[in-house]
Amino acid sequence: MKKVKVFAIGKLPRFLQDASREYERRVNKYCSLEIQEKEFRGISSEKVQQEKENEWLREKLLEHRDFLSIGLDLSGKAIESEEFSELVRETMENSRGLVLVIGGSQGLSTETLSLVNRKLSFSKMTFPHALFRVMLLEQLYRAFTILKNEPYHK
């Protein structure tokens, strides 16, 4: 079974944990999903916080070089769910797995983005990154149901 790993900055608030667990359960029917999160607290400088967050994400990306990696960033390409499902299919067929990277409220640094294979944007709108994680898991589930021609998508 192929692996999908999500590396995310910040912990989910309780009101989003149930939604996340539900989509994690659904996605795990199609792949081996692992989510690693890290929260950086008590740092007075936003710049230093972003540097620490991105340092952790870069370590994770370097550990998983044999996976296709996608950075979720406003500068990325916006695609439709069907195109995302094709990307998931290609990844599952042609690499060890997929890594999805969600930065903190400051976003992903240029250095971190230079390590990913692709950059995707869900929208030009701003979303709380904790809510975005649930949205990403839902889109991942949707991608698998599209690939399996299951009725969830429509």
Tell me what the pLDDT averaged over the chain comes to.
93
Proportion of the chain in helix, strand, coil states, percent, rounded to 5:
45, 25, 30
pLDDT at 51: 93
CA distance linking residue 89 with residue 22, whole number of Å: 22
Sheet of 97-102: strands edge to edge?
32-38, 3-9, 97-102, 68-78, 118-121
Residues 91 and 97: beta-carbon distance below 8 Å: yes
**Model pTM score:** 0.93
pLDDT at 153: 66
Contacts 24+ apart (CB under 8 A), 131-134: 131/16, 132/72, 132/102, 133/6, 133/8, 133/12, 133/16, 133/20, 133/35, 133/102, 134/12, 134/16, 134/19, 134/20, 134/23
Give ∠ CA 130-23-10 in degrees, rounded to 5: 20
pLDDT at 125: 86
Mean pLDDT for 48-75 is 94
Mean pLDDT for 43-55 is 91
pLDDT at 106: 87
Query: How many other β-carbons are positioned within 10 Å of the β-carbon of residue 20?
Result: 20
Domains contained in the chain, number:
1
pLDDT at 154: 65
pLDDT at 5: 97
Convert the pLDDT of each residue in 85-141 to its tens digit.
999 999 888 888 999 999 998 889 999 999 999 999 998 888 888 899 999 999 999
Query: How many other β-carbons are positioned within 10 Å of the β-carbon of residue 39?
Result: 10
Q: CATH number of the domain that 53 lies in?
A: 3.40.1280.10
- Which structure tokens are listed for 122? 């869900």
Q: Which domain holds residue 84?
A: 3-153
